[in-house]
Structure 1
């Protein structure tokens, strides 16, 4: 199910999903899918969720839309292995700062001969089905998405090389961390930040990968699409809930 989303974005069409940070309910992925999300990203970097929780979230999502996990670190093989083995069909890695780091992630995420992912079959990522292991590995290698976050000056300076690594599907701007690293925290109108957005988008186009981002407004999303971003995770669950609730409560108070 992952591949059509990536193929759609790579062909130049817009693919829209969402991030989940807070509501670890069995219905959250299906709610997102029925709302029109084409993928769901579950965050394991800034939450306290364990693998049991993440596995349940992925299991209740993946029959409807692709479920991906943002792992806590790009430097620990076990994070990649566990995210994929609990059933995620893609990983997002934070703070990827070099082509070497990106290549290592791809190696960990892919079975031989494309990588060195540890072999375990008939478990959650296979929906507990047995089958031809060679065919299973080939299908997993084709379907598993690798997203590298560009959120440091070092990563930005290496983005062209990162995007060119075989097996990297998406270069994704982590905007708050990137502006922090650039010394302009939260200055999303700063010309250096805007130039960074364009540099990442160009690197994606030039290498046949995809530029990704988490916009928090329609206006921001529209601007990003104009810059060449084609994989967007619109906002996160807790903020969407809070803003919708605040708007509704304010409207009722105003009307009465």
Structure 2
């Protein structure tokens, strides 16, 4: 597996900034994001309806490792984890992780033995169809894959310390909108309970040497979250960025 510059950056205390993809499953979207300066792209399977063939095409046309492809799977099940990794994803994100058991399943599904139980298939997309040493491919894949658990429910927050303590889990990504919904506070991003939840996730990451991650929707929010301690930051998503830019551009053209 290729070296993962995003994992190396955040593991050594740096900040990595990327984006998310929800709408444009085209052969150019990965290169567009890479040329814009994104360091990673999260291709979403949870909310888009994209199947594994769509994900396979998106990853195949992503200029790795200039842009690190991460896939958010629909739920924490072995076949979702293993299939996106076999198609060449360099990271996997699981939504709504609510227990240490789920986090362990995520890790075990993403790692080859002896760490996990990922099934063996070599000289396919994930190792670029090369006939390299199997032992080296296993070692490299286990070392380079970025494993992300989303904390975005009240139950996940309640079990935060147990989840954060799971070995080989790299990152806790706080899903602010789902978490606000789960706490009965839809859209209230500045509510004291939401701000307290952010502090709790950051503290759990610090205690357990995990990387804190978040999605931001503006430059100001992004800067504030990095200053607060987040080190893996996704700036918006394709559909929102396009809509925002188009809205602003059309308004400017029409202005007297």
**1:61 is the counterpart of 2:62:** yes
1:186 Cα offset (Å): 1.0
Give the Cα separation in 2 of the matches to 1:196 and 1:26.
38
| Deviation (angstroms), 1:177 | 0.8
Does 2:149 correspond to 1:148? yes
What is the distance in 2 between the residues matched to 1:11 and 1:109? 22
Counterparts of 2:111 and 2:147, CA distance in 1: 10
CA distance in 1, matches of 2:3, 2:175: 22
**Other-structure match for 1:232:** 233
For residue 48 of structure 2, what is the aligned residue in structure 1?
47
Partner-residue secondary structure (3-state), 1:214: strand
> What's the counterpart of residue 201 of structure 2?
200
Unaligned 5+ segments in structure 1 are: none
**SS, match of residue 87 in structure 1:** coil
Q: Paired residue for 2:218?
A: 217
Question: SS in structure 1 opposite 2:216?
Answer: coil
3-state SS in 2 of match to 1:13: coil
Cα drift, residue 166 of structure 1: 0.9
Q: Deviations over 1:100-145 (max 9, x none)?
A: 1101110010001110000011111111111211111110000111
Counterpart-to-counterpart distance in 2, 1:198 and 1:12: 18
Counting only pairs closer than 5 Å after superposition, residues 65-104 of structure 1 correspond to structure 2 as: 65-74=67-76, 76-104=77-105
Alpha-carbon separation, structure 1, partners of 2:167 and 2:253: 53
Which residue pairs with 2:31 in the alignment?
A: 30
Q: Is the 8 A contact 1:96 1:149 kept in 2?
A: yes
Q: Which runs of 5+ in 2 are unaligned?
A: none
* Partners of 2:85 and 2:5 in 1: CA distance: 18
* Residue 133 of structure 2 corresponds to residue 132 of structure 1: yes
Deviation, 1:163, is 1.6
Q: Distance in 2 between matches of 1:30 and 1:202?
A: 35
Tell me the distance in 1 between the aligned counterparts of 2:154 and 2:223.
25
How high is the TM-score relative to the length of structure 1? 0.96
Distance across 1 between alignment mates of 2:103 and 2:22: 24
Q: Secondary structure at the match of 2:4?
A: helix
Report deviation, 1:62.
Answer: 4.3
Contact 2:4–2:90 (CA<8 Å) still a contact in 1? no
Moved more, 152-161 or 29-38: 152-161
**Cα–Cα, structure 1 residues 181 and 187, in superposed 2: closer, same or farther, change >3 Å?**
same
Distance 1:2 1:28, change over 3 A: farther
Could you state the TM-score of these two structures normalised by the residue count of structure 2? 0.96
Q: Deviation per CA, 1:61-90, whole angstroms, max 9, x where unpaired?
A: 14232101000001x211011111111011
- Offset of residue 4 of structure 1: 2.4
- Per the TM alignment, residue 56 of structure 1 is displaced from its structure 2 partner at its CA by 0.9
